[in-house]
Amino acid sequence: MIDDITETEPLTPFRRWWEAAAAREELAEAMSVATATAGGAPSLRMVLLRGLDERGFVFYTNFDSRKAAELAENPHAALCFHWKSFARQVRVEGRVSVVADAEADGYFHSRARESQVGAWASDQSRVLPDHPTLMRRFEEAIARFAGETVIPRPANWSGYRIGPDRVEFWQELPHRLHDRLVFIRDGAGWRRERLYP
């Protein structure tokens, strides 16, 4: 049951569930991110949660990616975390904003050097003629930054923050009588509601 969630806001219990999942599951930070065009056509992919604070949930990507193009048209997204070993999931919906440059720089420089180089080598979501082309670009980027101690963050690479308006906690129970608790943004605070499974 979700009786362990006594808080009046969703981020504290989310952190507790996430930390428990991280102790048992590889990639507990993996989340599906749903975006949609201005016309409402949806798309979905897995990314990694790379930041969480009172402002929301952060992931990073290339501004030339499909998800970035859709977020430019329609700045709303939905997230879903699923932790199989706990039979739990959390769904998040909210408005999306770009993180500050300093925040993006900090995360970019925390990544492995090869991942930083990879951000320069990839034209994310563009047509790639063949894998050797990508590997050639990667080797060129390695050579380009060989003498550099700090690789600059590409201007088209940054992060997005989903400011939650709705956060739903789901716990699997027998007979499909699952437990669901949702927090809905209500002015400056939150409203809690139980939902039928």
Residues designated catalytic: 176
Q: What six digits make up the tokens of 135?
A: 């590997």
Cβ proximity of 65 and 157 under 8 Å: no
For residues 161 and 135, give the distance between their C-alpha atoms in angstroms, rounded to a whole number. Answer: 31
Q: Which of 171, 164, 12 is CA-nearest to residue 86?
A: 171
Q: What are phi and psi of 166, to 5 degrees?
A: -150, 130
What DSSP state is assigned to residue 99? P
In DSSP notation, 70-123 reads HHHH--EEEEEEEEGGGTEEEEEEEEEEEPPHHHHHHHHHHS-HHHHHHHHH--
Length of the chain in terms of residues written = 197
For residues 122 and 140, give the distance between their C-alpha atoms in angstroms, rounded to a whole number. Answer: 11
Terminal-residue alpha carbon distance, the chain: 12
Alpha carbon dihedral 180, 196, 33, 18, in 10-degree steps, equals: 10
